[in-house]
Structure 1
Amino acid sequence: MTVHDWDGGTGFRAADRVRADDMRADVYRLLALMLMGPPSGGLLSLVGGLSGDGTPLGRAFDDLAARARAAEPHAAEREFNALFIGVVQGELVPYASYYRTGFLSDRPLAALRSDLQALGLERADGVSEPEDHIAALCDVMAVLIREGAERAVQRHMFDSHLAPWAGRFFRDLEAADSADLYRPVGTIGRLFLEVEREAADLDDPELEEAEA
């Protein structure tokens, strides 16, 4: 996986939307994998093979790849636990409800579950995390993109369940005291969501009509 077709300012350089959507799904899936649990040696090896371009987002991928190549799985696990698990709780609480209301399992989770039910999506067997975990939301976006969900559906999920809080979460991850391997994960998430927002605005028919 490379990120040389990514334009960190306004979207993808590639004219082929299918290629662009493949890249979007890959980034969402990468974020989901890094955030759903401590990274395995295999995942660290995969991430260590990433390469970026000269854009801010591309440089963040290069930074993550370099840190992944230098990371030991046990150290990565300790960092993950310090960031997201802790003795009582980790340095960060990666749930939409917490970021948006200050409470776990609050109204944002109920709204998300309603939307997921309408889409025919449900939590996998054996998964205990609530659906508003940042990794689960990134995984949902990857699934929707891969399965060719309508742009309106993708935008609704992004606007309703990621845009209100995920940028703050990723900024907090960038600045977290316990973050080393995960610092560029925060940068990638923050920059990627900014590009997603700009791309969604460009696809907005109402915006196009207003500009016309």
Structure 2
Amino acid sequence: MTAAPDTTISDMDRARADLYNFLGALLANPPDEMLLTQTAGLSGDDTELGQAIGTLAKLAKVTKPKAAESEFNKLFIGLGRGELLPFASYYLTGFLNEKPLAALRQAMTAKGMQRSDTVFEPEDSIASLMEMMGAMIVGRFDRPADVAAQKQFFNTHVAPWASHFFTDLEEAKNSVFYSPVGTVGKTFMSVEAEAFRMSGAE
């Protein structure tokens, strides 16, 4: 039996969580055929975010899983290291496994979140943080987080560096499929930051 959907979560919040989870999936592992097909089926509107999603969908239609995997490896894995290091500690301090990771681990413990046994990289990766935001919105670990709790987590662990990372991804020399992923991420972070600012929640 599956749990009934939580009807207290608005369609807007469910859409936000879906976009966080989608970005998390694209940034955790190379997209397989199914994820590429799902991405190709997306449609955007006339907003900046909608146009970025439309561009990504068009590119997904002509991207093969093998090409996406090669690009992912060049960007994030590489020989020794990839073109980008998608971790909060690195972006905020210049080193991996620094204070931002320790602070995130404390926040995760407080919210009942823990790293999956199948994930071996530090928890402050961009993929993990996108998944955590999605999980908080819909209450995957506990009840859905209110706007104030979402805002605090976003402003502490995501806002200080995510837009910078997504801009780097958009402009990276190895980015083809991932360039519009960067655009979607950068635009979405801007939308979220403004919505939290306007919410007045503390």
Instruction: Please list the CA deviations of residues 73-99 of structure 1 after superposition, one character each: whole Å capped at 9, or x if unmatched.
Output: 000000000000000111110000000
- Aligned pairs for 1:1-212 (under 5 A) are 18-147=10-139, 148-205=144-201
Cα distance, 1:129 vs structure 2: 1.3
* Residue number in structure 2 paired with 1:209: none
Q: What 5-or-longer segments of structure 2 have no aligned partner?
A: 1-7
- How many residues align? The count is 191
Instruction: Please list the CA deviations of residues 142-200 of structure 1 after superposition, one character each: whole Å capped at 9, or x if unmatched.
Output: 00001121211111110000000000000000100000000010001001010101100
Distance 2:50 2:35 in 1: 19
- Partners of 2:148 and 2:201 within 8 A in 1: no
Distance 2:160 2:167 in 1: 13
Relative to structure 1, the CA distance from residue 111 to residue 42 in structure 2 (aligned partners, 3 Å threshold; closer, same or farther) is: same
Cα distance, 1:17 vs structure 2: 7.2
User: TM-score, normalized by length of structure 1?
Assistant: 0.88
Cα distance, 1:22 vs structure 2: 0.8
Distance 1:135 1:165 in 2: 13
1:51 aligns to what SS in structure 2?
A: coil
Instruction: Please list the CA deviations of residues 9-49 of structure 1 after superposition, one character each: whole Å capped at 9, or x if unmatched.
Output: xxxxxxx9701101110110110000001111110011010
Distance 1:61 1:152 in 2: 28
Letter in 2 for 1:53: D
Distance 1:117 1:38 in 2: 28
- Partners of 2:151 and 2:201 within 8 A in 1: no
Query: Root-mean-square deviation (CA), in Å?
Result: 1.2
* Structure 1 consecutive aligned stretches of length 4 or more whose deviation exceeds 6 Å: none
